[in-house]
Amino acid sequence: MTLRNPVDLFPKPPFPKQPQQAPGLAREMIPKPDHGETSYVGHGRLQGRKALVTGADSGIGRAAAIAYAREGADVVLNYLPEEEPDAQEVVKLIEAEGRKAICIPGDISSEAFCRELVGQAHVALGGLDIVTNVAGKQVSVDDIADISSEQFDATMKTNVYALFWICQAAVPLLPPGATIINTTSIQATKPSESLLDYATTKAAILAFTKALAKQVISKGIRVNAVAPGPIWTVLQPSGGQSQEKVEHFGEQSVFGRPGQPVELAPLYVLLASEESSYVTGEIYGITGGTG
């Protein structure tokens, strides 16, 4: 195996300005993110497992879904209907591995949909033993006076309420040995001034993960979270950052570049697999050395 310098593995800024209307499409990003489409190699660590992934059309969710399939899992993909073009690319990659890819598009800011999503995933896969919550809403606003109640409410519902609704519906269906993997952020402990509502939700996810882990370990269910730093996903150019920040996104990391979604996939696989059997209530940072 030839070792490669991690600093030079992926593109570095400056990047072109590339505004998209939320939720955006990964296929329109420059450079395109690497979700592991050609690079992730599985080793059968999730053979026969049944996974639900939110935000599975692009970004970290897409990388996790691809990795799960290549490790032997069938996957239910959740995403917004307008993200269908990206989602269909993921479906083809999963089916190429001989695994099931079940699409259940819909808005997780709706309680009714969240509960239907879990139930439908359980039926479609004939069970459920991996729940991976990745989907999130992030809107950059510089001044608290400019954050509307509607935006604050939408961010809370998408990032926190949905997590609660999905986990509440899933726990009674999950067998011993199942895992829940949430997605918090470096913003939970090092919030940016322009991401006030988003950072608040990510701090809530951190606490939620630790509390739920204590509740459900008696059922044999483990709960952990991944806390990414600057990762090159469509969340950023579609309103998650200003276009000026998009140009220099990830520059502040010690690598001088943003992380790519594929660089998080192995951790999601580890937390889903029995290799992490003594791990629960933990928060794993992948922040490019920013802590």
pLDDT tens-digit readout, 124-141: 999 999 999 999 999 999
> For this structure, is 198 an active site residue?
yes
- Give CA 120 to chain center in angstroms: 20
pLDDT of residue 40 exceeding 90, the answer is yes
pLDDT band, very low/low/confident/very high, at 291 (cuts 50, 70, 90): confident
DSSP 3-state of 181: strand
pLDDT band, very low/low/confident/very high, at 38 (cuts 50, 70, 90): very high
pLDDT digits (tens, 9 = 90+) for 163-206: 999 999 999 999 999 999 999 999 999 999 999 999 999 999 99
Average pLDDT over residues 32-45: 97
Q: Is the dihedral of CA 195, 26, 43, 52 positive or negative?
A: positive
The reported pLDDT for the residue numbered 49 is 98
CATH superfamily name and code, 46-286: NAD(P)-binding Rossmann-like Domain (3.40.50.720)
The reported pLDDT for the residue numbered 175 is 98
Which residues have a Cβ under 8 Å from the Cβ of 156 and sit 6 or more positions away? 197, 200, 201
Q: Per 3-state DSSP, what percentage of the chain is helix, strand, and coil (rounded to 5)?
A: 45, 10, 45
Output the six-digit token pair for 180. Answer: 């829940």
pLDDT band, very low/low/confident/very high, at 290 (cuts 50, 70, 90): confident
Average pLDDT over residues 249-260: 97
Put the strands of the sheet holding 283-286 in their side by side order: 101-103, 74-78, 50-54, 130-132, 179-183, 222-228, 283-286
- One of 79, 198, 268, 284 is an active-site residue; which one? 198
pLDDT band, very low/low/confident/very high, at 123 (cuts 50, 70, 90): very high
Average pLDDT over residues 203-220: 98
Q: Which H helix or E strand runs over 227?
A: strand 222-228
pLDDT of residue 1 exceeding 80, the answer is no
The reported pLDDT for the residue numbered 108 is 98
Q: At what angle do helices 162-170 and 196-216 cross, to 10 degrees?
A: 20
pTM: 0.97
